[in-house]
Chain A
């Protein structure tokens, strides 16, 4: 019930400002719990304030982790929104 994807942020602005708002709005369309991890910090994908506080720059490697019903679709679509996928795993 958990799926993860690791991507590098493609947007030149990083995950900031408008891209962050778009990302949060997209995350809220999924039912599963969604977490975004950068280094040893993590945030709630459905919270703009939480995502902004991570200060994610262009080119940063982030991992999306989804737990819940639509987890696979969530990480796939959100990873696509963020940028270039590096690796992905999913466990039943």
Chain B
């Protein structure tokens, strides 16, 4: 039996499922208590106190695992726990003869329902918090807590649930949880976001899960296809194992690698959170080639101030344990709204006020970020900073002027992304002004071909192997000259592109964390000197089909 859901986090996982029961689901809210009211109130107080201890502990874990900025999600739950709007009706219902668990669950559902009905995304989130708190208190009252279930797991398991609450997700033991499947949820749900950060395959919105699956059943979660297969057949299991092996069982290579003829290739990882950085270190990354700073801004309800940012960036640098980290300044625009930041809706956000265009228009915001990064660089000199969406020297001049004003021009190694075609054409001029370049192949491809990557009708056109894109990569590499240049788009981790990129002279590749061991292994098998003919053939290609033929010349022998 196959349940179709939404692919929320890529990869395959196979194992016995552990179903998390919602603690409140089977509470009879109409039951009358057979115990005296004072006893019920005492039990309520004890359960509330125990829940408070839980939440304080989870908040501490959250600070460690996902940073102080995100632990606010959890801390808001403490305010719910002794909120009179929640607590008073619970007490009133108990005085009225309800059981403590019945009162807690009924009031939690009612309050959550009221908040959800207000049609405000922030309040809808609080609605989930109220249910999460209610469930926790009911769990203590009925002695059916979820946390010990989560903590006591062994072996490789798949977690199944109606939905995973924020605190559930934070409590997952990464050593044993191999996959996640939920009955409801969306790609943007908290659990889905965290699953992607952690590299745990996940399927959400698998309708029928609760009816079809019990704890102990073996399921196959395919986070690429968005399916959950109950009792998978041998062929499906074999396929899942090969996907999982390719992703996970690759031996980690901690040291730097070189091609068989001695060309050192630096293999970096892309990251968006402290946890990503920790995982990247675990996968043997030589550093972080692209740290996206948007996450901090997305997760906070108001733009984080200089202090918060400085603390966060320092934690990122610490997590890299001395390896270099390249921070990209805020890369948002009309297509990526950020809470608390007013970004004008635009007819064409893709060609609108994005990246450095936006931060230069909001000087206070940009200055705070540059100052926070400068403070981080003072303590962690191995970090560097780059700005996204630069289209020419004028923007660089402006950024430098602002930097000189707020932090000093030599506060950190300073570089620029190359993703706008005009900057690619001017690569030599741009390179002369900065310490390094980093090519964002995703946006570069889209802009060179004028094709939105997300538009499925243009799938045939958006192609990183288009001859024009590959010639642009050569243009940038030649223009960069002696200035260090890296590649940080999807292409950097594409096995078909490795020989070509190395042959073109790109010796710094920044890839998604789990790909680091694979790329390092392939680098060792590659002979850089042997790529010349293939590279020449690729650059001579007139059509996409010529590129395919030329890439065969670069394919590993045997």
Give chain A's interface residues, CB within 8 Å of chain B.
Answer: 12-13, 16-19, 21, 24-25, 44, 46-50, 52-53, 55
Set B111, B120, B301: member contacting A13, Cβ < 8 A = B301
Q: Across the interface, do B115 and A17 meet the contact criterion of CB distance under 8 Å?
A: no
Q: Across the interface, do A53 and B340 meet the contact criterion of CB distance under 8 Å?
A: no
6 pairs of residues in contact across A and B, judged by CB atoms under 8 Å: A12-B340, A18-B302, A19-B302, A48-B80, A49-B126, A55-B118
B81-89, B370-378, B511-519 - the one binding chain A: B81-89
Give the complex CA separation of A27 and B21 in angstroms.
Answer: 37
When distances are taken between beta carbons in the complex, the residues of chain A under 8 Å from B340 are 12-13, 17
Q: Across the interface, do A18 and B123 meet the contact criterion of CB distance under 8 Å?
A: no
Q: How far is the CB of A31 from chain B (nearest CB, A)?
A: 15
Set A17, A46, A47, A55: member contacting B302, Cβ < 8 A = A17
When distances are taken between beta carbons in the complex, the residues of chain A under 8 Å from B114 are 53
Q: Across the interface, do A48 and B76 meet the contact criterion of CB distance under 8 Å?
A: yes
Set B86, B115, B302, B342: member contacting A53, Cβ < 8 A = B115
Q: Across the interface, do B80 and A49 meet the contact criterion of CB distance under 8 Å?
A: yes
Interface: B536 (CB within 8 A): no
Q: Across the interface, do B79 and A24 meet the contact criterion of CB distance under 8 Å?
A: yes
Chain B interface main SS type: helix
Set B111, B120, B126, B339: member contacting A55, Cβ < 8 A = B120
Q: Across the interface, do B122 and A49 meet the contact criterion of CB distance under 8 Å?
A: no
Give the complex CA separation of A21 and B84 in angstroms.
Answer: 14
Say yes or no: A44-B301 contact (C-beta < 8 A), given A13-B340, A16-B122, A53-B118: no
When distances are taken between beta carbons in the complex, the residues of chain B under 8 Å from A48 are 76, 79-80, 83, 126
Q: Across the interface, do B120 and A50 meet the contact criterion of CB distance under 8 Å?
A: no
Q: Across the interface, do B72 and A47 meet the contact criterion of CB distance under 8 Å?
A: no
Q: How far is the CB of B423 from chain A (nearest CB, A)?
A: 33
Set A12, A17, A19, A47: member contacting B83, Cβ < 8 A = A47
Give the complex CA separation of A30 and B301 in angstroms.
Answer: 26
When distances are taken between beta carbons in the complex, the residues of chain B under 8 Å from A49 are 80, 83, 85-86, 111, 115, 126, 130
Give the complex CA separation of A70 and B80 in angstroms.
Answer: 25
Identity of the chain A residue whose Cβ is nearest the Cβ of B85 in the assembled complex: A49
Q: How far is the CB of A4 from chain B (nearest CB, A)?
A: 21
Give the complex CA separation of A52 and B130 in angstroms.
Answer: 13
When distances are taken between beta carbons in the complex, the residues of chain B under 8 Å from A13 are 301-302, 340
Q: Across the interface, do A21 and B118 meet the contact criterion of CB distance under 8 Å?
A: no
Additional 16 contacts, C-beta under 8 A, given A17-B339, A47-B84, A53-B123:
A12-B340, A13-B301, A17-B301, A17-B340, A18-B72, A18-B301, A21-B76, A21-B79, A44-B85, A47-B83, A47-B85, A48-B76, A49-B85, A49-B115, A49-B130, A52-B115
Q: How far is the CB of B341 from chain A (nearest CB, A)?
A: 10
When distances are taken between beta carbons in the complex, the residues of chain A under 8 Å from B72 are 18
Interface residues of B in 257-306 (CB under 8 A from A): 300-302
| In the complex, number of A-B residue pairs with CB atoms less than 8 Å apart | 52
When distances are taken between beta carbons in the complex, the residues of chain B under 8 Å from A18 are 72, 300-302
Q: Across the interface, do B79 and A17 meet the contact criterion of CB distance under 8 Å?
A: no
Give the complex CA separation of A18 and B299 in angstroms.
Answer: 12
Q: Across the interface, do A25 and B118 meet the contact criterion of CB distance under 8 Å?
A: no
Give the complex CA separation of A49 and B118 in angstroms.
Answer: 12
Give the complex CA separation of A13 and B300 in angstroms.
Answer: 12
When distances are taken between beta carbons in the complex, the residues of chain A under 8 Å from B84 are 44, 46-47, 50
Give the complex CA separation of A16 and B122 in angstroms.
Answer: 8
Give the complex CA separation of A16 and B76 in angstroms.
Answer: 12
Give the complex CA separation of A12 and B340 in angstroms.
Answer: 8
What are the 6 closest A-B residue pairs judged by CB atoms, nearest first? A17-B301, A49-B85, A48-B79, A47-B85, A18-B301, A47-B84
When distances are taken between beta carbons in the complex, the residues of chain A under 8 Å from B339 are 17
Q: Across the interface, do A52 and B301 meet the contact criterion of CB distance under 8 Å?
A: no
Q: Across the interface, do B79 and A25 meet the contact criterion of CB distance under 8 Å?
A: yes
When distances are taken between beta carbons in the complex, the residues of chain A under 8 Å from B83 are 47-50
Contact with A along B155-188 (1 / 0, CB 8 A): 0000000000000000000000000000000000
Interface residues of B in 115-164 (CB under 8 A from A): 115, 118, 120, 122-123, 126, 130
Q: How far is the CB of A81 from chain B (nearest CB, A)?
A: 15
Identity of the chain A residue whose Cβ is nearest the Cβ of B76 in the assembled complex: A21
Contact with A along B75-107 (1 / 0, CB 8 A): 010011001111000000000000000000000
Give the complex CA separation of A57 and B120 in angstroms.
Answer: 13
Contact with A along B43-76 (1 / 0, CB 8 A): 0000000000000000000000000000010001
When distances are taken between beta carbons in the complex, the residues of chain A under 8 Å from B120 are 55
Q: Across the interface, do B126 and A52 meet the contact criterion of CB distance under 8 Å?
A: yes
Q: Across the interface, do B123 and A52 meet the contact criterion of CB distance under 8 Å?
A: yes
When distances are taken between beta carbons in the complex, the residues of chain B under 8 Å from A12 are 340, 342
Give the complex CA separation of A56 and B340 in angstroms.
Answer: 15
When distances are taken between beta carbons in the complex, the residues of chain A under 8 Å from B130 are 49
Identity of the chain B residue whose Cβ is nearest the Cβ of A16 in the assembled complex: B122
Give the complex CA separation of A72 and B111 in angstroms.
Answer: 32
Interface residues of B in 522-551 (CB under 8 A from A): none
When distances are taken between beta carbons in the complex, the residues of chain A under 8 Å from B301 are 13, 16-18
Identity of the chain B residue whose Cβ is nearest the Cβ of A19 in the assembled complex: B302
Q: How far is the CB of A28 from chain B (nearest CB, A)?
A: 9
Give the complex CA separation of A49 and B133 in angstroms.
Answer: 13
Q: How far is the CB of A18 from chain B (nearest CB, A)?
A: 5
Give the complex CA separation of A53 and B117 in angstroms.
Answer: 11
Give the complex CA separation of A47 and B89 in angstroms.
Answer: 13
Q: How far is the CB of A87 from chain B (nearest CB, A)?
A: 28
When distances are taken between beta carbons in the complex, the residues of chain A under 8 Å from B85 are 44, 47, 49-50
Give the complex CA separation of A14 and B131 in angstroms.
Answer: 25
Give the complex CA separation of A55 and B340 in angstroms.
Answer: 15
Q: How far is the CB of A11 from chain B (nearest CB, A)?
A: 8
When distances are taken between beta carbons in the complex, the residues of chain B under 8 Å from A50 are 83-85
Set B118, B122, B342: member contacting A17, Cβ < 8 A = B122
When distances are taken between beta carbons in the complex, the residues of chain B under 8 Å from A55 are 118, 120
